[in-house]
Chain A
Amino acid sequence: MKSFEQLTDDLAPRKFGLYGKIWIGFLLVIIIGAIYAYYLQFTKGLEITGMNDYSLWGIYISNFVFFVAISLVGSLVTAILRLSGVNWATPLTRISEIIAVAAIIMAGLTIIIDMGRPDRIYNLFLHGRLQSPIVWDVIVVTTYLTISLLLLFFPLLPDFRILSKKFKSDKRRSKLYKKLSLNWRGNDKQKSIYKWSIRTLSVLIIPVAFGIHTVTAWLFAATYRPGWDSSNFGPYFIAGAFVAGTGGVICVMYLLRKFRHLEYYLTDYHFDRMAKLLVLLILVYLYFNVNEYLVPALKNTTKESEHLKALFFGEESFLFYAVIFGGLIIPACALIFKQMRKPLPLFLISVIVVIGAWWKRYVIVVPTLLHPFLPVQGVPKNWHHYSPTHLEWLITWGTLAGAMLIITLLVRYVPVIPIHETAEEKGIAEPKNDTNNEK
């Protein structure tokens, strides 16, 4: 068994190596490009995008839905698994909470990017109307961000204290970590408040997480449009969100294990468990897809059939089958085999699942808008389709890079695996000697 020193050495944040620096540089280049593209959009208007009066929402909105979806994993791993007593998930709590925070921040930013008049955002507070699902979204996104930040921060308190001791030689750093630890001493009173707060937050975040993605689904379901006008949309979105988020956590798990050498903490067992969880979640999501597509297809009303035809046989059919088969059915089948649940194959499958999840949101958002109730006539030919522009893609890539940068920076400065909780779980005692003489 490892000693406490070894444990902190393994898990304490470390300076980046060459790969880390290249990675950050790569992200910054994309982000700077995206900021320039957004500057163009801000000065010229949304004309720089491929959107038009029919395709009035595009990849910004589908990207927004993707971010909200992936952020739900925070509540899945830290709350649902924790409360149901799944102990093996402990090393994954921080990773999933980091992903949740990064994704929800970028979700908020993405919705502002999509606005025609971002300079008037204050109107939401001056003239906000509670009838509008957008106002529900604003309320629930900010609530979810707050609870997620707390759920990231509270379990960090003992870890910050440990880090403050570890980096004693670096005075400034040690002091900062000490401040962040909010005077954590680990006495019984603090411990009981700490446990109670995390438990309360874990309970709180579940309805808020369901709320955030249900409201996001209602942005679409609250309209009359075929393909969106569905009472199935809330649970359908949540089921899909858990698939995307679990895939995201597996990807980050694998990369951290590889580059931070965390094989002792993130074992094959964890990957195997996450793979099985992913299969279960994909099956649930496929069930909702059956409801979403096959029931309307059976009824085949005039309006629905136009939309479904485009998905099943028309211009969107390639994407449609790619995300259903490539992003869901084939990965789920592959993961039945034990060899596929090993870290590397699982990582590759998860990358495909996450990419599929991104395009799945595109397939939900874009085709519906191209099939309105009244015919599309007397407008330029390119209004019959939607193809995002390069600048639009660049801005979207910028938000994805932004989320990855937030994840990377958090990985750089906080322990990616909870030290305190791991020590407790493995029964490694923290040496007590220096807690007193610092007073």
Chain B
Amino acid sequence: MKEIDQKNRRSFISNGLKLGLLTAIGGVAVAKSLNEEEMVELMDTDGNIIKVPVSKVEEHSSLKGDNYSTREGFPNKKFVMVIDLARCKNAKQCQNACNKAHFIPGDNAWLKIYKMQDNPESAPYWMPNLCQHCDQPACVKVCPVDATFKRRDGIVLIDNERCIGCRFCMAACPYSVRVFNWSEPNQGEIKMDMGMGMEMDMDHSKYTPDYAGAPSVRGTVDKCDFCPHMIAEEKLPHCVSACPNGVYFFGDLYEDSVTNGSETFQFSKLLKDNAGYRLMEDLGTMPSVYYLPAKNRQEDFESGLENYTEFESVQKVKES
């Protein structure tokens, strides 16, 4: 049983890889005519140039594909994030952007930056923490009503129209990333930027788990959603683009590339060169968020202390 499972997963991944490189990297291809059939040159994930017949290359109008479903996710994608601890100086721009974008009303930020020190001898560092979008999510395992779910593209979401508020997922999550709407959320005006100066009012009738927090619901659980609403527009999640130091890298495992907006890296090489790791690997939760150790810091640890507040809640939407 397990073997079959793994085989399926492997063929799923390899199919995804092929499709991914055929479509997404299509732009860098140079067309060439060869014999009868026209061939294109594409670069695979290892950096090799390969030739593929034009007829095998598919064009997709959008990342969502034709039959997008919230519970299935983006076809042929597997989202990952890399957080480079060497760059983080607790600027908190990520948290501000996240709170604003998701209309987070109170003390319950979905993204937190912890002041960490593993032992008295080792150096302290700042550690941004958000939903790890685990491949074996403890929260999804215990949800009694399938309100929180895992998608094929790796994202874990919450349907706050189904959640019964038992908070078992919060107890199960070892990363303490889930928050609860203890009261009626005081979110202010919930408007989504539609681009070109247009704004759309978000309300319950337009709610989708793809856009967590728009709106939040009393008595249900909230958390980081990896911003599928931004991905759909081919933009980066809010925390990634807001970070002034390029701490966050976001990308697709199948394409093997991650970017922070200005720099793009080969995902596997980035992890290999910098000894990337995941939090609490021993629990077997298989997070989609990877960390690079705080080696050769770009900023002093101390420079982040001015933003650090041990007991004060996060900066709220209204104050910003």
Residues of B within 8 A of A379 (CB): 107, 311, 313
Contact indicator per residue, chain A 87-103, by CB within 8 Å of chain B (1) or not (0): 00000000000000000
- Contact B182 A120, beta carbon cutoff 8 Å: no
| Interface: B196 (CB within 8 A) | no
- Contact A369 B171, beta carbon cutoff 8 Å: yes
Contact indicator per residue, chain B 202-222, by CB within 8 Å of chain A (1) or not (0): 000000000000000011110
Within 8 A of A (CB), among B134-186: 138, 141-147, 162-168, 170-172, 174-176, 178-184
Query: Chain A's nearest CB lies how many Å from the CB of B95?
Result: 9
- Contact A378 B164, beta carbon cutoff 8 Å: no
Residues of A within 8 A of B113 (CB): 378
Interface size class of B (residues with CB under 8 A): 35 or more
Beyond A132-B143, A224-B174, A374-B176, is A381–B311 a contact (Cβ under 8 Å)?
Answer: yes
Q: Within the assembled complex, what's the spacing in Å between the Cα atoms of A115 and B138?
A: 20
Contact indicator per residue, chain A 336-366, by CB within 8 Å of chain B (1) or not (0): 0000000000000000000000000000000
| Interface: B229 (CB within 8 A) | no
Contact indicator per residue, chain A 297-323, by CB within 8 Å of chain B (1) or not (0): 000000000000000000000000000
| Interface: A373 (CB within 8 A) | yes
Residues of A within 8 A of B165 (CB): 46, 115-117, 120
Residues of B within 8 A of A134 (CB): 142, 144, 166, 168
Residues of B within 8 A of A219 (CB): 168
Interface residue from A46, A56, A220 paired with B219 (Cβ < 8 Å): A46
Within 8 A of B (CB), among A380-428: 380-381, 383
| Interface: A372 (CB within 8 A) | yes
| Interface: B189 (CB within 8 A) | no
- Contact A115 B176, beta carbon cutoff 8 Å: no
Query: Chain B's nearest CB lies how many Å from the CB of A379?
Result: 6
Beyond A56-B171, A127-B162, is A47–B182 a contact (Cβ under 8 Å)?
Answer: yes
Residues of B within 8 A of A47 (CB): 182-183
Q: Within the assembled complex, what's the spacing in Å between the Cα atoms of A369 and B171?
A: 8
| Interface: A57 (CB within 8 A) | yes
- Contact B171 A378, beta carbon cutoff 8 Å: no
| Interface: A225 (CB within 8 A) | yes
Within 8 A of B (CB), among A40-89: 44-47, 49, 51-54, 56-57
Query: Chain A's nearest CB lies how many Å from the CB of B49?
Result: 44
Beyond A373-B280, A381-B311, is A116–B220 a contact (Cβ under 8 Å)?
Answer: yes
Residues of A within 8 A of B97 (CB): none
| Interface: B100 (CB within 8 A) | no
- Contact A223 B171, beta carbon cutoff 8 Å: yes
Query: Chain B's nearest CB lies how many Å from the CB of A307?
Result: 14
A117, A133, A372 pick with most chain B CB within 10 angstroms:
A117
Query: Chain B's nearest CB lies how many Å from the CB of A424?
Result: 46
Interface of B is mostly: loop
| Interface: B319 (CB within 8 A) | no
- Contact B107 A380, beta carbon cutoff 8 Å: yes
Contact indicator per residue, chain B 91-118, by CB within 8 Å of chain A (1) or not (0): 0000000000000000111001111100
Question: A126's closest neighbor in chain B, by CB?
Answer: B145
| Interface: A375 (CB within 8 A) | yes
Q: Within the assembled complex, what's the spacing in Å between the Cα atoms of A425 and B220?
A: 56
Residues of B within 8 A of A114 (CB): 166
- Contact A132 B309, beta carbon cutoff 8 Å: no
Within 8 A of A (CB), among B260-296: 280, 283
Interface residue from A116, A225, A374 paired with B129 (Cβ < 8 Å): A374
Residues of A within 8 A of B306 (CB): none
- Contact A116 B171, beta carbon cutoff 8 Å: no
| Interface: B66 (CB within 8 A) | no
Residues of A within 8 A of B116 (CB): 375
| Interface: A433 (CB within 8 A) | no
| Interface: A6 (CB within 8 A) | no
Residues of A within 8 A of B311 (CB): 378-381
Which 10 interchain pairs have the tightest Cβ spacing? A116-B165, A116-B219, A47-B183, A134-B144, A132-B144, A47-B182, A123-B145, A117-B219, A117-B165, A381-B311
A-B contact pairs, 28 of them (CB 8 A): A45-B181, A45-B219, A53-B170, A115-B166, A116-B164, A117-B220, A123-B145, A124-B144, A128-B144, A128-B145, A129-B143, A131-B141, A132-B168, A133-B168, A134-B144, A134-B166, A220-B171, A222-B142, A222-B172, A223-B142, A223-B172, A224-B138, A224-B283, A377-B115, A378-B113, A378-B313, A379-B311, A380-B312
